[in-house]
Amino acid sequence: MTIIIFILVLIILILVHELGHFLFAKMFGIRVDEFGLGFPPRIWGYKPKGSETTYSINAIPFGGFVKIYGEDYDSIEGDPDRNRSFVLQDKWKQTLVLFAGILFNIILAWILISSTLLVGVNYGTSDRYSDRVIDPGVVVANVLSDSPADVGGLMLGDKILFVSSNGVSIQGDEVNPDSITEVIKGSDGSDMDFLVKRGEENVTLKVTPSEEIIPGSFAIGVSMINSGKLKLPPHLAIVEGARITYELTGSIIGGVWGLLKDTFSGNGSMANVVGPVGIAGLVGDASRMGFVALIIFVAMISLHLAVLNLIPFPALDGGRILFVIIEKIKGSPLNPKIVSSINLIGFGLLLLLLLFVTYKDIVRLF
């Protein structure tokens, strides 16, 4: 089931991305020869009467593509329809067509996040909308890998209802991050009983604190936040969704920039970078936490896809935008053979990176 959900998520994210390119190309009168679901070989194709675009379903179900007419000068030489080619458009139009995929991934994340606020989502309590937060409580915000909490079964998003150890128990209004921490510290390493709400179920867990995480103090390897369910009316959900999307995008850009900077300075680490296998596992984890958690995770992937495509690297949208900017400054087209070779090298490097992180994902499983 996890694989099916992962494939569906991937298809949706890439199709939305390609839809951005498609709609902006159409808006500027650029000819679009094909809009494909999946990658070739083609299984089925349909070209509506009077349409210039073939809509296809292809054999490899990982995403989709848009075939825009005239992406290099050689392909339009002598063609009477050349004025509708991509390369003969104004540079600002080319830039917007290339940026549109990134924009649509951001818009998708905004829509998804706003929709979760409409139906109700776990939300850290703060001054913002605090009067609208219902069913407040303490939620697990992070679980260290291989920590006592991880081994005991505590998961991201678990709402802690009851904690007991060494004859001390807390529940109801007594449960807060500070009181839980005190019980953990006072456990002397004895087993702790946790009752948590996971989705719609109550789950009982046993966790054994350790002094290995914080020398001299018992800990279980979790961070906790005060949280409750926030449900907003449509107009506020849209505004708050936009704010969250903006902040998340900025945070992701900062994270990617930091990773790239550390990598080029020799201080980078690929330990936390995941590929398709790792993402598939995370999709499975999110789906087990409930539909809303899955929607939020898809929004996060969509934002990551947008930011990664913004990087000015060959074969990515950002790289192609960079070539357009260089042509604008230069005042003449770049050599199409050189551009094609650079993009091919970039694609090869991205493929090698994908294989590397996929290998690391598989190693983590065993």
Q: Is the distance from CB of 129 to CB of 57 less than 8 angstroms?
A: no
Is 327 among the residues known to form the active site?
Answer: no
Distance CA 45, CA 48 (A): 10
Distance CA 62, CA 11 (A): 6
Crossing angle (nearest 10°) for helices 234-264 and 91-119 = 120
C-alpha distances out from residue 320 to 40, 58, 78, 134, Å: 23, 25, 25, 47
Distance CA 189, CA 166 (A): 9
C-alpha distances out from residue 112 to 13, 29, 292, Å: 12, 30, 9
Give the residue among 109, 6, 22, 5 at the shortest CA–CA distance from 65: 22
Give per-residue burial for 46-80: e unless 16+ CB within 10 Å, then b: eeeeeeebbebebeeeebbbbebbbbbeeebeeee
Q: Is the distance from CB of 266 to CB of 353 less than 8 angstroms?
A: no
Distance CA 15, CA 37 (A): 7
- Alpha helix positions (H), the chain: 2-27, 91-119, 148-152, 177-185, 234-264, 276-288, 291-310, 317-330, 336-365
Distance CA 295, CA 286 (A): 8
Determine which one of 18, 77, 200, 201 is catalytic: 18
Q: Is the distance from CB of 234 to CB of 118 less than 8 angstroms?
A: yes
Provide the annotated active-site residues.
Answer: 18
